[in-house]
Amino acid sequence: MELYTPVLALLALAAGFAIFSVAVSTLTGPKRYNRARLDSYECGIEPTPQPFGGGRIPVKYYTVAMTFIIFDVEIMFLVPWAVYFDQLSWFGLIAVVLFLFNITLAYAYEWRRGGLDWD
């Protein structure tokens, strides 16, 4: 068999279990209608109409997401370099150090500009 197909067996097993659990809980659990219970939980006070329709999310999360993508792509570039490090030798090292230097410069810029600060 292929190297990747066994994953499907585990995937099917896990998915089957998860779907079964979600489905069975509607059968095993009691059903007693109660309007208050179906409301959003907010410590007993009237729920704030925030998340849907006009709710806004702090822009910080977007900057974190973008920075993450940059770094994650960077890591993806580093992985093949690391695996073939011995063959690439000095050429690989210098190339990667230059690459990391560029990333670090942008990182320092973001740091200094408060892009990494949470307040």
Partner 1 sequence: MNAVSLPLVTGPSLDSFGLDTVWVVLLKAVLIFAVLVVLTLFNIWFERRVVARMQHRIGPNVNGPFGLLQSLADGVKLALKEDIIPTRADKVVFILAPIICVVPAFVTFAVIPFGPEVTIPFTDTVTPLQLTDMPVAVLFVMAIASIGIYGIVLGGWASGSTYSLLGGLRSSAQMISYEVAMGLALISVFLFAGSVSTSEIVAAQGDLWFGLILAPAFIIYVIAMVGETNRAPFDLPEAEGELVGGFHTEYSSLKFALFFLAEYINMVTVSALATTLFLGGWHAPFGIGAIWEGANEGYWPLLWFFGKVFFFMFIFVWLRGTLPRMRYDQFMDFGWKRLIPVALGWTVLVAVMRLITIEETFDRQSLLITLGVITGLLVVAMFVPSFGAARDEAETEEPDAPAKPAGAFPVPPMPATGAVRGAAPPLTFADSGPRPGPAQAEES
Partner 2 sequence: MNDEFTGPAIEWARLWPLFAVFGTALVGVAVEAFAPRSARCLIQSSVAGVGLAVALVGTVLVALELPERAGGAARGDVTAGGAVVVDGPTVFLWGLLVVVTVGGLLLFAERRVDAGLPVFAGQASLPPGSTAGPGGPGEPSYEDWEHTEVYPLLVFALGGMMLFCASGDLLTMFVALEILSLPLYLLCGLARRRRLLSQEAAMKYFLLGAFSSGFFVYGMALVYGYAGTLNLAGVAVAVRAGGGQEVLLLVGAAMVMVALLFKVGAVPFHSWTPDVYQGAPTAVTAYMAAATKIAAFGAILRFLYVGLGDARWDWAPLLWVVAILTMLGGVVLAVGQTEIKRLLAYSSIAHTGFLLTGVLGLQASGDLAEGQISSLQAVLFYLATYGVATVGIFAVTTLVRDPGGEAGSVARWTGLGRTSPLVAGAFAVFLLSLAGIPLTAGFVGKWSVFASAAGAGAWPVVAVAITSSIIAVYFYVRHIVTMFFADPPEDAPVVVVPSPLTSVTIAVALIVTVALGVVPGPLLDLAGHAGQFVR
Q: Which residues bind partner 2 (CB under 8 A)?
A: 84, 87-89, 91, 102, 105-106, 108-109, 111-113
Please say whether the beta carbons of 92 and 84 come within 8 A.
yes
Q: Which does 102 bind (CB under 5 to 8 A by kind): partner 1, partner 2, none?
A: partner 2
CB of 119 to partner 1, least distance (A): 5
Q: Which does 36 bind (CB under 5 to 8 A by kind): partner 2, partner 1, none?
A: none
CB of 86 to partner 1, least distance (A): 5
Q: Does 19 participate in binding partner 1 (rule CB under 8 A)?
A: yes
Helix (H, G, I), strand (E, B) or coil at 77: helix
Cα separation values, 26 from 6, 12, 52, 59, Å: 31, 22, 26, 38
> Of the candidates 29, 47, 26, which has an alpha carbon nearest to the alpha carbon of residue 38?
47
Q: Which does 38 bind (CB under 5 to 8 A by kind): partner 2, partner 1, none?
A: partner 1
Question: Can you tell me the distance from the alpha carbon of 109 to that of 103, in angstroms, rounded to the nearest whole number?
Answer: 10
Q: Which does 91 bind (CB under 5 to 8 A by kind): partner 1, partner 2, none?
A: partner 2
Number of residues assigned to the chain: 119
Q: Does 72 participate in binding partner 1 (rule CB under 8 A)?
A: yes
Closer to partner 2 by Cβ: residue 4 or 101: 101
Question: Can you tell me the distance from the alpha carbon of 36 to that of 45, in angstroms, rounded to the nearest whole number?
Answer: 11
